[in-house]
Amino acid sequence: MTMARRGTAERGTAMHARDALNLFFESPLTSAAVVHCYVLADGAAVRSVADAAEFGRGILALDPLFTRRLVSVPADLAFPHWVPTRVDVTEHVYVHTPPAGRSRDLLVSMITDFTTTPLPRERPPWEFHFVLDVTGIDGVAEGATVVIFRSHHSAIDGMGSVELVNRVFGANPTPRVDTDTAVDVPGPVRAARALPRDIVTLTGAALRRRTAARALTASSDSGTAAHGSFPATRFNRRVRPSMVFDMTFFEMSRVRALKNRAGGVTLNDVMVTVVSLALSAYLAEDGELPTDSLGTTIPVSTRAMGESTNANRITIAKLSLHTDVIDPVVRLRAVHASASRAKDDATVIATRLPAHPLTVMPAPLMALLAKTMRSPAAPARVATNTMITNVPYGVGGVTIAGSPMVGVFGPLPTVTGVALAHAVATFGASMFVSVTSVEDVMPDTARYIRHIRTAFDRLEAAVTPSDARPPAARAAVTPTAITVSP
């Protein structure tokens, strides 16, 4: 849908280039949706259109996200601006009741639709959908309500959603003050006049980044090394856009007990290892597991690094999944070491290198790059095979429409060239693992979910209290010897 065109009399906040990446590069294969599903302990107070409108009016003043829309600049000569607008809450809050026995079908259908269908750009980019009387879903109490929050990655990222929910629906709802400076939305002439200056800024940023990166790589005190590539799998081919989604549930007490028994690892290490084991087993079952290790990307929040207050404050770390290591405990240790190194490297890059050229690229060049960039149809090697994100929502204290929140799940959208993504969401006593893929390469999500559950069981059985001190002589085994659990 084309963004509404407006004159220069309107005033708003210019979109940051980093946020605009999610707008300009959005496509049928690269979704920029943010979709989080909040599980409530029981039925919420919102059960009708009138209830929904009251709920919507009650939150409008608590965040600028709810009351501003995008206004574009003709021909993308400058980035869009966020402009305050009047809001009809009935266009943003909805109520749904699943047919008997069809709760899961409805939720999966809504999640795939919300992830692949862009929000209307003529109004603020948010919606809340109350799905009532949910039944038959592991980890969700019978008759509970699931609230689906829908937004756009150019407006908010995953950790921003965590902050929003905890602040808006926490014990003391607190408005977020918009500290960004409002300016006139430029017309085409003024935007075109600024382009030479913006191109000079981009050129300077590219030169500074290249020089600093070389110096950082050469410095003896830096652990940052050049990242390699990984063998491509079915998930890295060019595919038709046809999203599939599935999920599974774990008790946090069980995951935490495994982490504590292993010693010296994090919850994130445990779940990355579970994904590694599941992906190995899934591909090996079809005779498609490469000999070399596969790899993943994980987001690292830059909120504690003094970054500017734009919507997307993350950097991406890349690490090996060590799928060439058969022993689950040795693989866990290797994943922990790789994840620690990757996070350290990402932090060093985010704090010691100048801005990446993409974050200062002028709007027309970014729009042109997005339209012309193409990925290979069947690459031999890739920068990453899959994506994994961990979204920690907290331990409790969130109430939505009169009902306590007890869990969170939702998709991490796939992108062009990476047709498998995992979202691990934790809240209170629950952990949900969501899987997003494309039907062409994963027509059987239930089989993959079984591999995730089997992988957890396998790791849990392999980790004993003595593993808190990993034996130095414990050796890896060649990947061809991997045993696929039934």
CB atoms near residue 393 (< 10 Å) = 22
| Cross-strand pairs, 314 | 301
Please report the pLDDT score of residue 153 as a whole number: 94
Give the contacts of 355 (CB within 8 A, at least 6 positions apart): 205, 209
- Pull the structure tokens for residue 450: 């079984």
Please report the pLDDT score of residue 312 as a whole number: 59
Please report the pLDDT score of residue 469 as a whole number: 52
Answer for the pair 443, 430: CB distance below 8 angstroms, yes or no: no
Please report the pLDDT score of residue 263 as a whole number: 94
Asked whether residue 473 carries a pLDDT value surpassing 80, the answer given is: no
The single residue listed with the structure tokens 């409002």 is 182
Please report the pLDDT score of residue 480 as a whole number: 29
Least confident segment among 69-83, 116-130, 471-485: 471-485
Fold category of 18-174 in CATH: Chloramphenicol Acetyltransferase (3.30.559)
3-state helix vs strand vs coil in the chain, percent to 5: 40, 25, 40
Query: How deeply is 143 buried, as exposed, middle or buried, from its count of CB atoms within 10 A (0-12, 13-18, 19+)?
Result: exposed
Q: CATH assignment of 229-392+412-481?
A: 3.30.559.30
Report the distance separating Cα 139 and Cα 426, nearest Å.
Answer: 12
Judge whether 18-174 and 229-392+412-481 match in fold.
Answer: yes
Q: What is the pTM of this model?
A: 0.89
Give the contacts of 117 (CB within 8 A, at least 6 positions apart): none
Please report the pLDDT score of residue 359 as a whole number: 86
Q: What is the pLDDT of residues 402-459, one digit of tens each?
A: 999 999 999 999 999 999 999 999 999 999 999 999 999 999 999 999 999 999 999 9
**Model confidence at 87, in pLDDT bands (50, 70, 90)?**
very high
- Pull the structure tokens for residue 455: 């992988």
Query: How deeply is 181 buried, as exposed, middle or buried, from its count of CB atoms within 10 A (0-12, 13-18, 19+)?
Result: exposed
Please report the pLDDT score of residue 97 as a whole number: 95
Look over the chain and give the mean of its residue pLDDT values, rounded to a whole number.
88
Q: What is the pLDDT of residues 279-289, one digit of tens each?
A: 999 999 999 99
Average pLDDT over residues 40-49: 88
Q: What is the pLDDT of residues 158-214, one digit of tens each?
A: 889 999 999 999 999 999 887 778 899 999 999 999 999 999 999 998 998 888 888
**Model confidence at 4, in pLDDT bands (50, 70, 90)?**
very low
Please report the pLDDT score of residue 349 as a whole number: 77
Please report the pLDDT score of residue 226 as a whole number: 41
| Domain range annotation of the chain | 18-174, 229-392+412-481
